[in-house]
Structure 1
Amino acid sequence: MPLVASADLEVHPRLQTSIPSSFPTLGDGLNIMEIGPQPELPLTIDLTLRSSDIWERVRNGFAMTDLNDDLVLHYQQWYMARPGMLRQMIERSRPYLHHIVEALEERGMPTELALLPMVESSFNPMAHSPAAASGLWQFIPATGRRFNLEQNWWQDERRDVFASTNAALDYLQTIYDMHGDWHLALASYNWGEGAVKRAVERNAASGLPTDYPNLRMPKETRHYVPKLQALKNIIGNPETFARLNLPLIPNEPYLATAAAPRPMDVKTAARLANMSVEEFRHLNPSHNRPIIKAHTPLILPADRIAIFNANLANNQAPLTQWQAYAVKSPQRINDIASQLGVSSRELIQANGLPGNVRLAAGSKLLVPGNGNLESLQRMLGMESSPAIIAPEPRARGKKGKKGKAGSAKNKKSAAGKAKAGNSRASKARSSAGKGKPTPRGKKKR
């Protein structure tokens, strides 16, 4: 009876081909069997083979040392108990993930970092924190400026997917080069590189380990890397991924950029790309105003670029319906809206104003009109808000407890002054009657 190779034999999959399914029967003598040279087996993954699924590409690029502790287990269980939330985050990542993975691979960086916006913003490009961090990668204003993200009245590039991804990877590479450890780089991204550097130096001075698990750090930073590791464990395991019914994402570019050669309304750009305004804003959340400045890249689905360019070339209508309005004397927004026959709410939203404020003379506003570009040119060159909020005028004739007290006090003071004045006038008349000269500097009453 031939001996059959056991199916339960634990053998590395790449060695299975070298094991025959059966062996020759051993008789009285020995049968001679020549064993030929074994084929060489690949020991690395061939990244030139294109995967149809972006998650397989992400898994193949995992390069960070795994973190294993109770916090990782806690967050892994926490995420797995909320598959609906995971699905929502992954659906949000759909337009951006391919671009982020591509950028990471071009730099030779670990693809685990493509999951970081899940921890930072749940892949919501409009996310805004109490600490004024904004966008997918949650840049605070100062760090955004440090990495050349434009932030002005017209645009906030912290919410621009392409610009902010480039800045985030620049920052992560910088802090990795500083520490030589990805866990410390991630802690620095959350806590600040200076704080992590001081924590490392404190441990080194005390003879303690200086790796991430052994540093003293705020609770938020202590939980930060375990969250990313938990997501890596879930997404990195195809069986878990399938069991949770998480969405697959094609390994294809989703986004591309087009140029706006002239100032263009957000609504016009959406129309030219055959998109809804809501969909366009979702991909272009960096624009603060209803007008996009000339030569600003527009982010569109890759399959809409040709449509946009063709419609733009054939467009005969004005690209913008907004124009500038100069405030000549202090006016409230409601009064300006009534004067122009437009909605005050529309003016407040378009100009980023806190409400029905009073504007000072010299202020400029974006108002609906006929798209007079000449009136817009000077305004388009302004980086800060061209609207100046004027102080409220002092109230007159209002009575209250303080007003009554102040009024009584003023009356008393006025009466005293009048009494003193009458007394001085009386003395002056008396002196004049006696032939004495009037004191210099004083007038007769």
Structure 2
Amino acid sequence: MLTRIKGAKIVDPGNVDGDYKDIIIRDGLIDALVEPDKELDATDTDEIKEIDATGMIAVPGLIDLHVHLREPGHEYKETIETGARAAVRGGFTTICPMPNTSPVNDNSQVTAYIVNKARDLGLCRILPVGAITRGLEGDTLAEYGDMKQKGMVAISDDGRPVADARVMRRAMEYANGLGLPVISHSEDLSLAREGSMNEGITATRLGIKGIPNAAESTMVMREIALAELTGARVHIAHVSCEESVDAIRHGKARGVKVTAETAPHYFTLTDEAVAQYDTHAKMNPPLRTEKDRQAIIEGLVDGTLDIIATDHAPHSPLEKEVEFDRAAFGIVGLETSLALSLELVQEEKLSLSRLIEKMSKNPAAILGIDNDLKPGNPADITLIDPEAYHTIDPDTFFSKGVNTPFVGFNVKGEAWMTLVQGRVVFEKEL
């Protein structure tokens, strides 16, 4: 049985970029890229499924290096299944869930549970991130080798920083020996403590305790210094401020093995989104100023920021419909990320090819995955409708989480179809 995707423009940076070719899929793998009018062998045409993708853009499946699926332990917020369904609807074929579950993913048993559950669902690929320290407590290193054998692809204590620099150094050395990237939640708790939003004019006007940029940037500088010391690969999560972008830019210039991500909310919104005490605009790190927003965009443009991730963090109304300072940090993003990121293309900040680097190719490179659309590779493909206008409506989300500050935003572009190993796992309803 063959599948033929017809009529799409292929955008696969470094491989096929801008050509119109049909993609032939056999047994879950890409079999060939052929000219649109090329006839296939007669033995194949008896059993061929055609997908008319005229007007669509075919890209290597999107990869999200930073999500929270909440299972095990907090299934009332999200499950592996609902998170995976949200992912494929958003065009993601691979997602990497952070370890702050209950129990924490700090051992091979929890890693195996997540991997096996994902395999049984058969939706997107789920590659777990294991904890740096046992219980995310910042003291004792977890057993990275055991978790890696079960499918863990990186380590992080995301949700909490590793405050002890000596522990973080040892983690980097251990991870480096196993070829694992270290994902840093860069936050100085002594500066951030009790803060609920960005420290600045808006926080002062609202009477909310703020979190200064330095709470993030000082720890970013530490992580870069430790990566330089150990030779390890460090990835800075959810970059939100100008000083962090500058530090990463300088680290890269020195040859440090540092990569970094930001999320759509940091290049779309500012702390003014909190003006009505909207808890759906409460996240960590917080939304910053317009100056920081512009610095994030510039970091994406010049390559300082390698990746656009979602930091998808679903919460129930129990955690969000409360006073602002008591509300949980975090927003959902799997089903809004692509459309919000495409605005950078529409505003001519990034080319479409550069955007696909940020959302597919660069995450794949960090994970050591070859996701070129070429013969022999898995047919993980996202088909994007670049002309689809829609209004963001949480009532339509596949995720259990509806905590988004983008309600009512009019956007252009979305995933039309998502294929994983040649199987259609999402198709937009007409």
TM-score grouping bracket, smaller chain normalisation: under 0.3
- Structure with the bigger RCO (C-alpha within 8 Å, sep 6+) is 2
Larger Rg: 1
TM-score, with normalisation over the residues of structure 1? 0.21
Which has the larger share of helix?
A: 1
Which has the larger share of strand?
A: 2
